A and B are shown apart, each in its own frame.
Chain A
Amino acid sequence: MNANIGIFEANYYLPPTKKALSQVFQDEEKPTEAFAANVDFEKDIGIEALHIAKNETAADLCINAAKLTMVKSGIDPKEIDLIIDFTSIPEDYVAPTWSAAGQVQKAIGATRAFATAINTGGCASYQTTLKVACSLMSANDRYNTALLVAGDKTPEFNHNYFPITVVSDGGSAVILKKNMTKRRILGVEVATVGRLHDMWFIPGIHNRKPEDVGGKYPRWLHVCGDVQRFNKELIPINLFMFRKVMLGVLKQVGKKMQDVAYFVYPTFSAWDLKAFCQAFNLPLEKVSTENMHHGHLQETDMVVGYVDALEAGRIKDGDLVMLATNGAGFSWGASLVQH
């Protein structure tokens, strides 16, 4: 793969309204299942408030993030060759028939671009999208600039993703360009364990139950998780799969774990972050933590963690940065960015 494709710019948009986590737990359904980890889900999660989009649509979150990133980059929207939406939760209209990619293309005036969407990987859709975008750019001389966008608006009263996390609303965007000398994407590794496909899903209106109609909220739009399977089938392999993709991407480019100066990791929970650091023997200062106060932002976590670390001066010239995450499906992904 062309090793000169890099992250030209990245940014995110979070709606200004915030809701205290105590209020979220009060408003939403109480989980009844037991959680294997020895923690108090509500008290120990390490997130205090969530960003809530009020009247903004999911596409608005996408477009706001794209516009902020375009302005920050100074790039003319007409230069963009590819737009790939990597949103991982329900969008404004039903997917895969519709995606926000075309609406973003229209809103920013990227008249030359081809717009599409990647709808797999859950929170790891960022890595899947990087893999596809870099391959398309590497294979085709005509694709020089790509805009990756995501916008997630959680269905009302579904911010509690017990037993994993609590989720905020927000959008993110990343501009990839060829011929970069810094922030080069050296490699991307993605792995999928498809037998876990039905452990985490949203039923959809065609599967709604009569008792849900007219209730407090459209439950058929809410995530259904099989907590027993989560405990038995996902948790035991999770760190093994992280190790597989992390070592896989390092092997791809001939690097070692000790070469990595900084890790961007999702903001699922404080105990999850601690487990990740312990498993890979990483000091906390080498792992993204600034973004914890935003709440979990699905696939946008990767962008927020990266941007926040850059702005805080935690990533320096010459640093090798690893972005690693997992997501529904289930998939795991890791990418390496050379600063």
Chain B
Amino acid sequence: MKSPVGILAASCHLPQHKRSVEDLFREEGVNFSSHVAARLGIKQVPIRNGQASESASNMAVAAGREALQRAKVDPLTVDVVVEYSIMPQEYLVPVWNMSNKVQAEVGASKSFVVGFSGGGSSNFMVALSSAAAMLSENDSMKTALLVTGDTTIPGNRVLNPDDPVTVMGDGASAVVLQSDAPGGVVIDTELWSDGNNHDICYIPGGSLIHPDDISLYRMRLDKARYDAFPKAETLRRLSDKLLERAGLKFSNVACVLCSNISSQDEAVMQQAFEGKVSPVCASNRESHGHLQGTDFPLNYLSLTESGSVKQGDYVLGVSHGMGTTAAVSLFRY
């Protein structure tokens, strides 16, 4: 990449209302036990209140506005709005995409929009990598607004009820990227996918194959294939490859940020990343559950606010998602 691109500001917009995991399990008819509670490590998740202000796109607009204000960026100078949601939106994607509404409502009227599908929790890294590439390779582009809003399908917040993998909350986030930003430099991103697992996690009903079966309008996970996918090993391999390309070693990395899926998932990540996963991940997981694409911005903000990293420190962001995908980004604070 020609000129370095960095994170100027980030923001999360989460519903005020929270539900305990125990309540959600009861509501969805899922058995809750101390064993499951320990494996998930999630106490509560933010849930939208049903008001229009907390629709996925309206939360994304709020997050976008806040991020631009924090970055002190005039919306009219935004060159591209890049969207990284995972859950279904107000209308059916790809004919409709919230990025257009965000563009209009934050006032980024000189930008164009791009949205990404199919990467699950890795979608943020895909958006980040693409936005960074556009900013560094196009002389006319300097600023990108990355944005998402994800609301879970009601009654489908416990993923894989027979053997729960995570509990999903609602929320939105935004990140402002700029060429020559002073910190949060996006050094590089490594992306990986295995198309054999394209249907490991998806929503079968409501599109062309099962257009009218509302009972299939739920996120479905193939747990056996999910467990078999070597998530931590793949992410560590990608990280090592990325670090080598950057001329660094893992010992140069100050800490690692992972998705807030479960304590079981994080334990595996801690092992693969030699105990360097930041404590902010566990803390955010307990209090918010899995917020899809918003996990990374939330953890990034918490890490920054924690004061545990200093200027010049290297941080790895790692994520695995449906598709199956794996993604690693390297940042320099």
Residues of A within 8 A of B (CB): 1-2, 57-58, 85, 87-107, 110, 113-122, 125, 128, 131-132, 134-136, 138-140, 153, 155, 190-198, 200-208, 213, 218, 221, 223, 252, 328-331
Contacts and interface: CB of A to CB of B under 8 A. Distances in A.
A252 to B, nearest CB: 7
Nearest to B95: A202
A124 to B, nearest CB: 9
30 contacts: A88-B94, A93-B199, A93-B208, A94-B217, A95-B94, A96-B87, A96-B88, A96-B89, A97-B88, A97-B219, A101-B193, A102-B197, A102-B324, A103-B199, A105-B193, A106-B196, A115-B323, A116-B119, A128-B112, A131-B134, A132-B134, A134-B137, A135-B130, A139-B137, A140-B1, A155-B208, A201-B96, A203-B91, A205-B206, A329-B96
A207 B92 CA distance: 10
Given A139-B133, A200-B95, A101 B140 contact: no
In the complex, which of the residues B111, B138, B195 has the most CB atoms of chain A within 10 Å of its own CB atom? Answer: B195
B75 to A, nearest CB: 11
A155 B211 contact: yes
Q: Nearest 5 A-B pairs (CB), nearest first?
A: A102-B198, A105-B195, A99-B118, A194-B103, A119-B94
B193 A116 contact: yes
Contact of A97 (B191, B194, B322): B322
Nearest to A58: B208
B114 A57 contact: no
Nearest to B135: A135
A122 B99 CA distance: 13
Contacts of B323: 101-102, 115
B100 interface: yes
A91 B129 CA distance: 25
B239 to A, nearest CB: 15
B111 to A, nearest CB: 7
Given A125-B94, A190-B112, A202-B92, A93 B85 contact: no
A122 B206 CA distance: 20
Contacts of B194: 102, 105
Interface string B66-105: 0000000000000001010111111111111111111111
Interface residues of B, number: 76
B180 to A, nearest CB: 15
A93 B219 CA distance: 11
B112 A122 contact: no
A94 B91 contact: no
B282 interface: no
A119 B93 contact: yes
A7 to B, nearest CB: 18
A192 B113 contact: yes
